Chains A and B, each alone.
Chain A
Amino acid sequence: MITRLAIANRGEIARRIIRTATSMGIETVAMYSDTDAGSPHVRDSDLAVRLTGRGASETYLNVDAVVDAALRSQADALHPGYGFLSENAELARAAIAAGLTWVGPTPKVIAAMGDKLAAKSAMAAAGVPTLPTWTADDPAVEFPVLVKAAAGGGGKGMRVVKTRSELPGALEAAAREAVSAFGDPTVFLERLVTRARHVEVQVLADSHGNFVHLFERECSLQRRHQKIVEECPSSALDDELRRTMGDAALRGARAVGYLGAGTVEFVLEDDGRFWFLEVNTRIQVEHPVTEAVTGVDLVREQLLVAAGEPLSIRQEDLSIRGHAIEARLYAEDPANDFLPCTGALAEFSVPSRPALRWESGVEQGSTVGIDFDPMLAKVISHAPTRTEAARSLALGLARARLRGVATNRDFLVAALRSTAFLRGDTTTDFVDTAGVPRLRDATEEEVAVAAAAAALAARHARRSTAGVLRNVPGGWRNSVMPPERASYRYRGTDLEVYYNFGRDGSATFVVDDLTLALSDIDVSTSSPGLEVRVSVGRTGERRLHVLEAATKVWVQGAEGDVELDVVERFAVAGSQNPDGALASPMPGRVVRVSVAAGDVVDTGTELVVIEAMKMEHKLTAATPGRVGEVLVSAGDQVAAGQLLVVVEDAHRADPAESEGGR
Chain B
Amino acid sequence: MPGLPLQSSVDTLGEDFAGRRDAMLEKLFELGRLAESAAAGGGAKATERLRSRGKMPIRERISYLIDRDSPFLEISPLAGYMTDYAVGGGMVLGIGVVEGTECVIIGNDPTDLGGAMTAVSIRKLMRALEIARLNRLPYIQLVESAGGDLRGLSDGDDPEAVMRRNLTHFAESGRMFHDITELSALGVPTVSIVFGSSTAGGAYQPGLSDYNIFVEGHAKVFLGGPPLVRMATGEISADEELGGAAMHASLSGLADYLAVDEMDAIRAARAVISHLHWRKAGPGPLIDDPDPPLFDPDELLGLMPADLRQPVEVRDVIARVVDGSRFEEFKASYGSTLVTGWAEIGGFAVGILANNGVLFSESAQKAAQFIQLANQCSTPLVFLQHITGYMVGRDYERGGIVKHGSQMINALSNSTVPHITVILGASYGAGNYGMGGRAFDTRFVFLWPTAKIAIMGPKQMAGVMSIVRREQAARRNFELDEDSERARSEAVEAFAEAQSLGLYATGRVADDGIIDPRDTRTVLTIALSACHSAEVKGAPGYGVFRL
Inter-chain contact B68/A481, CB cutoff 8 Å: no
- Across the interface, A478 reaches (CB within 8 A) one of B68, B101, B519, B529, namely B519
- Give the number of chain B interface residues (Cβ < 8 Å): 45
Question: For the complex, what is the distance from the CA of A119 to the CA of B417, rounded to whole Å?
Answer: 94
What residues of A have a CB within 8 angstroms of the CB of B70 in the complex? 462, 466, 469, 474-475
Chain A, Cβ-Cβ closest to B95: A469
Inter-chain contact A474/B263, CB cutoff 8 Å: no
Known: A471-B289, A472-B525. A570 touches B264 (CB 8 A): yes
Question: For the complex, what is the distance from the CA of A466 to the CA of B523, rounded to whole Å?
Answer: 17
Query: Least Cβ distance of B57 to chain A in Å?
Result: 8
- Give the number of chain A interface residues (Cβ < 8 Å): 28
What residues of A have a CB within 8 angstroms of the CB of B526 in the complex? 469, 472
Inter-chain contact B73/A478, CB cutoff 8 Å: yes
Chain B, Cβ-Cβ closest to A573: B260
Question: For the complex, what is the distance from the CA of A569 to the CA of B261, rounded to whole Å?
Answer: 13
Known: A480-B35, A480-B39, A486-B68. A469 touches B529 (CB 8 A): yes
What residues of B have a CB within 8 angstroms of the CB of A474 in the complex? 69-71
Chain B, Cβ-Cβ closest to A503: B518
Inter-chain contact A481/B72, CB cutoff 8 Å: yes
Inter-chain contact A478/B263, CB cutoff 8 Å: no
Chain A, Cβ-Cβ closest to B88: A479
Chain A, Cβ-Cβ closest to B78: A479
- Across the interface, B266 reaches (CB within 8 A) one of A462, A471, A485, A570, namely A570
Question: For the complex, what is the distance from the CA of A528 to the CA of B267, rounded to whole Å?
Answer: 30
B63 at the interface (CB under 8 A from A): yes
Question: For the complex, what is the distance from the CA of A408 to the CA of B38, rounded to whole Å?
Answer: 53
- Please encode chain B, from 309 to 320, with 1 for each CB lying within 8 Å of some chain A CB and 0 for all others: 000000000000
What residues of A have a CB within 8 angstroms of the CB of B529 in the complex? 468-469
Inter-chain contact B522/A569, CB cutoff 8 Å: no
B515 at the interface (CB under 8 A from A): yes
Chain A, Cβ-Cβ closest to B63: A482
What residues of B have a CB within 8 angstroms of the CB of A471 in the complex? 285, 288-290, 346-347, 525
With most chain B CB atoms within 10 A of its CB, the pick from A458, A470, A471 is A471
With most chain A CB atoms within 10 A of its CB, the pick from B69, B94, B263 is B69
Inter-chain contact A467/B100, CB cutoff 8 Å: yes
Inter-chain contact B100/A466, CB cutoff 8 Å: yes
What residues of B have a CB within 8 angstroms of the CB of A479 in the complex? 35, 38-39, 74, 77, 94
Inter-chain contact B71/A475, CB cutoff 8 Å: yes
A140 at the interface (CB under 8 A from B): no
A162 at the interface (CB under 8 A from B): no
CB-contacts of B276-305 with A (<8 A)? 280, 285, 288-290
Chain A, Cβ-Cβ closest to B71: A476
A473 at the interface (CB under 8 A from B): yes
B511 at the interface (CB under 8 A from A): no
B516 at the interface (CB under 8 A from A): yes
Query: Least Cβ distance of B47 to chain A in Å?
Result: 12
Inter-chain contact A478/B346, CB cutoff 8 Å: no
- Please encode chain B, from 50 to 89, with 1 for each CB lying within 8 Å of some chain A CB and 0 for all others: 0000000001101110011111111001000000000000
- Across the interface, A477 reaches (CB within 8 A) one of B74, B290, B346, B518, namely B74
What residues of A have a CB within 8 angstroms of the CB of B69 in the complex? 458-459, 462-463, 474-475, 484
- Please encode chain A, from 532 to 572, with 1 for each CB lying within 8 Å of some chain B CB and 0 for all others: 00000000000000000000000000000000000001110
Known: A471-B289, A477-B74, A570-B263. A482 touches B59 (CB 8 A): yes
- Please encode chain A, from 347 to 360, with 1 for each CB lying within 8 Å of some chain B CB and 0 for all others: 00000000000000
- Please encode chain B, from 22 to 37, with 1 for each CB lying within 8 Å of some chain A CB and 0 for all others: 0000000000000110
Inter-chain contact A462/B100, CB cutoff 8 Å: no
What residues of B have a CB within 8 angstroms of the CB of A468 in the complex? 97, 100-102, 280, 529
Query: Least Cβ distance of B392 to chain A in Å?
Result: 37
Inter-chain contact B102/A481, CB cutoff 8 Å: no
Query: Least Cβ distance of A61 to chain B in Å?
Result: 50
B244 at the interface (CB under 8 A from A): no
Inter-chain contact B62/A469, CB cutoff 8 Å: no
What residues of B have a CB within 8 angstroms of the CB of A569 in the complex? 64, 68, 263
Question: For the complex, what is the distance from the CA of A470 to the CA of B263, rounded to whole Å?
Answer: 26
Inter-chain contact A482/B60, CB cutoff 8 Å: yes
Query: Least Cβ distance of B104 to chain A in Å?
Result: 14
What residues of A have a CB within 8 angstroms of the CB of B522 in the complex? 472-473, 476
Question: For the complex, what is the distance from the CA of A482 to the CA of B62, rounded to whole Å?
Answer: 9
B513 at the interface (CB under 8 A from A): yes
- Please encode chain B, from 490 to 519, with 1 for each CB lying within 8 Å of some chain A CB and 0 for all others: 000000000000000000000001011011
- Across the interface, B72 reaches (CB within 8 A) one of A467, A476, A486, namely A476
Inter-chain contact A478/B523, CB cutoff 8 Å: yes
Question: For the complex, what is the distance from the CA of A448 to the CA of B160, rounded to whole Å?
Answer: 64
What residues of B have a CB within 8 angstroms of the CB of A469 in the complex? 70-71, 97, 102, 525-526, 529
Question: For the complex, what is the distance from the CA of A463 to the CA of B97, rounded to whole Å?
Answer: 12
Query: Least Cβ distance of A481 to chain B in Å?
Result: 5
Question: For the complex, what is the distance from the CA of A472 to the CA of B77, rounded to whole Å?
Answer: 20
Question: For the complex, what is the distance from the CA of A466 to the CA of B74, rounded to whole Å?
Answer: 20
With most chain B CB atoms within 10 A of its CB, the pick from A462, A467, A469, A471 is A469
Question: For the complex, what is the distance from the CA of A478 to the CA of B512, rounded to whole Å?
Answer: 12
Known: A471-B288, A478-B74, A478-B523. A462 touches B38 (CB 8 A): no
Chain B, Cβ-Cβ closest to A461: B69
Question: For the complex, what is the distance from the CA of A471 to the CA of B285, rounded to whole Å?
Answer: 10
Chain A, Cβ-Cβ closest to B288: A470
Query: Least Cβ distance of A460 to chain B in Å?
Result: 9
Query: Least Cβ distance of B43 to chain A in Å?
Result: 14
Inter-chain contact A484/B71, CB cutoff 8 Å: no
Query: Least Cβ distance of B461 to chain A in Å?
Result: 31
CB-contacts of B510-547 with A (<8 A)? 513, 515-516, 518-519, 522-523, 525-526, 529
- Please encode chain B, from 99 to 134, with 1 for each CB lying within 8 Å of some chain A CB and 0 for all others: 011100000000000000000000000000000000
Question: For the complex, what is the distance from the CA of A469 to the CA of B515, rounded to whole Å?
Answer: 18
Chain B, Cβ-Cβ closest to A456: B69
What residues of B have a CB within 8 angstroms of the CB of A475 in the complex? 69-71
Inter-chain contact B68/A459, CB cutoff 8 Å: yes
Inter-chain contact B64/A478, CB cutoff 8 Å: no
Question: For the complex, what is the distance from the CA of A484 to the CA of B522, rounded to whole Å?
Answer: 19
- Across the interface, B263 reaches (CB within 8 A) one of A482, A503, A571, namely A571
What residues of A have a CB within 8 angstroms of the CB of B516 in the complex? 478
Question: For the complex, what is the distance from the CA of A479 to the CA of B33, rounded to whole Å?
Answer: 11
What residues of B have a CB within 8 angstroms of the CB of A481 in the complex? 39, 59, 62-63, 72, 74
Inter-chain contact B72/A472, CB cutoff 8 Å: no
What residues of A have a CB within 8 angstroms of the CB of B280 in the complex? 468
Inter-chain contact B38/A480, CB cutoff 8 Å: yes
Question: For the complex, what is the distance from the CA of A469 to the CA of B70, rounded to whole Å?
Answer: 8
Question: For the complex, what is the distance from the CA of A472 to the CA of B524, rounded to whole Å?
Answer: 10
Query: Least Cβ distance of B268 to chain A in Å?
Result: 9
Query: Least Cβ distance of A479 to chain B in Å?
Result: 4
What residues of B have a CB within 8 angstroms of the CB of A472 in the complex? 71, 346, 522, 525-526
With most chain B CB atoms within 10 A of its CB, the pick from A468, A482, A571 is A468
What residues of B have a CB within 8 angstroms of the CB of A503 in the complex? 518
Query: Least Cβ distance of A456 to chain B in Å?
Result: 10
Question: For the complex, what is the distance from the CA of A25 to the CA of B182, rounded to whole Å?
Answer: 80
Question: For the complex, what is the distance from the CA of A485 to the CA of B77, rounded to whole Å?
Answer: 22
Query: Least Cβ distance of B533 to chain A in Å?
Result: 9
Inter-chain contact A478/B100, CB cutoff 8 Å: no
With most chain A CB atoms within 10 A of its CB, the pick from B70, B72, B94 is B70
Further contacts, 16 of them, CB under 8 A, given A471-B346, A474-B71: A459-B68, A462-B67, A463-B69, A468-B529, A470-B288, A472-B526, A474-B70, A477-B72, A479-B35, A480-B59, A481-B72, A482-B60, A485-B63, A569-B263, A570-B263, A570-B270
Name the 5 nearest CB pairs between A and B, nearest first.
Answer: A480-B39, A476-B71, A570-B267, A479-B74, A467-B100
Please, could you name 28 A-B residue pairs with CB atoms under 8 Å apart, sorted by A? A458-B69, A462-B67, A466-B70, A466-B100, A467-B100, A468-B280, A469-B71, A469-B97, A469-B102, A469-B526, A469-B529, A472-B526, A473-B71, A474-B69, A474-B70, A478-B72, A478-B73, A478-B74, A478-B77, A478-B513, A479-B35, A479-B39, A479-B74, A479-B94, A480-B38, A481-B62, A484-B68, A570-B266
